[in-house]
Amino acid sequence: MKLLFLACLSPKTGNLTTADRIRYHIESAGHTCELRDAAEFQSPAEVAKLVSQNPPFDGALAIHLFRAGRLLLDIHVPFGVIFGGTDINEDVKVEQKRAVMEQVLQKARFAVAFTAKLKEEAEIFLLSQSSKIYVQPQGIQTEVEELFCWTEFLRSSGVSRERVDQTHVFLLVCGLRRVKDPLYLAEVFSEWHNENHQNVLVIIGPKMDPVLTAEVEAVVERTAGVFLAQERSQKELHAVMKRCFAVVNSSVSEGMSAAILEAMDLGIPVVARDIPGNAAVVQHGVTGVLYSSPQEFVHQSRRLLSDHELRERVVRNGKLYVQEHHGLKQERETYQRLVDTLH
């Protein structure tokens, strides 16, 4: 089959990584899968024209019911959709968007949720048949850039040279957009840093929202202990994660954070904001630690620093969790089976 696959493909983002991985699964079954950025298209009519070109597409896929799924409403071939997270957690709150997403879900032959919780939310907020929605966690595979220079990375991020060897780096991996709330911890972390200069917060990710990026840069400029690093390739990012003390998540909402799962796979503790998408993969005190306020973030981080047994436990259990629940084999089999239903 020849398939069109629409997703939000901002460079060096989790969306792009996920879409590339799913495309590989589909193509490994012998199909042709053309991955296109949803931002290229202004209307469903444009996508309908593309799908009907010669030779025509036989089916389609989309990640995110609103941003990409709405563009499939005019096509005359079967399609499936994958929940992105913000569509179910945020966009359903807007009546006009919710109405569009209901149409998409009704027309879709299948839908995929990364977690059972996301499926439950979709069933509550959208008019849908439960049997149409499948739960398939993201598959995770980490690769580290072996020649990566940690010391140079810290210096380029603004962390002073004399602190490099003793620094406890808390790495906030996120694209700079509102839903990731990158400044949520800045003030309290700076206070903690002033008590102990060894603790620093490094924010790393693509600059997706120009207005927010300017805000982040301004705050980082005047806030001690908080730094902004240039985005990196996936292998380099994994090398950074491998050397940091803990990986941090501060999002307002998540579908399933690839950065959290990658950190677990790399054997790095996770300190995640207590929201449904994170709580679905982080069991507090078992596979990571959760916090619900900036003050509690500091408390849980102090625990990780002082309690070696806790740190070892969450590292061990986190890695086991990813191996057991986020393998590529199961993910590949699921998508190949679902794509076969588009015949």
pLDDT of residue 126: 85
- Beta 199-204 vs 226-229: how paired, if at all? parallel
Domains of the chain: 2-139+327-340 (3.40.50.2000), 150-325 (3.40.50.2000)
Q: Is 109 helix (H, G, I), strand (E, B) or coil?
A: coil
pLDDT band of residue 12 (cuts 50, 70, 90) is low
Decide if pLDDT at 180 tops 70: yes
| Strand ordering across the sheet containing 133-135 | 32-37, 2-7, 59-63, 79-82, 110-113, 133-135
pLDDT at 163: 62
Cβ proximity of 286 and 276 under 8 Å = no
More confident residue, 293 or 120: 293
The residues near 172 (Cβ < 8 Å, ≥ 6 apart) are 182, 185, 201, 202, 203, 204, 247, 248, 249, 250
- Kindly state the DSSP code that residue 293 receives in the 8-state scheme: S
Task: Give the predicted TM-score (pTM) of the model.
Answer: 0.86
Q: Are 105 and 201 in contact (CB under 8 A)?
A: no
> At residue 200, what is the residue type?
V
Residue with tokens 């202990």: 225
% the chain with pLDDT above 70: 97
Confidence of residue 160 (pLDDT cuts 50, 70, 90): confident
pLDDT of 93 over the 80 cut: yes
Per-residue pLDDT reduced to its tens digit, 216-253: 999 999 999 999 999 998 899 999 999 999 999 999 98
pLDDT digits (tens, 9 = 90+) for 131-146: 899 999 999 989 999 8
162 has a pLDDT exceeding 70? no
Main-chain dihedrals φ then ψ at residue 228, nearest 5 degrees: -120, 120
pLDDT, tens only, 34-68: 999 999 999 999 999 999 998 999 999 999 999 99
**What would you report as the CA-atom Rg of the chain, rounded to the nearest whole angstrom?**
21
List of long-range contacts for 126-132, beta carbons under 8 Å, 24+ apart: 126/88, 126/92, 126/98, 126/101, 126/102, 127/102, 128/102, 132/105, 132/108
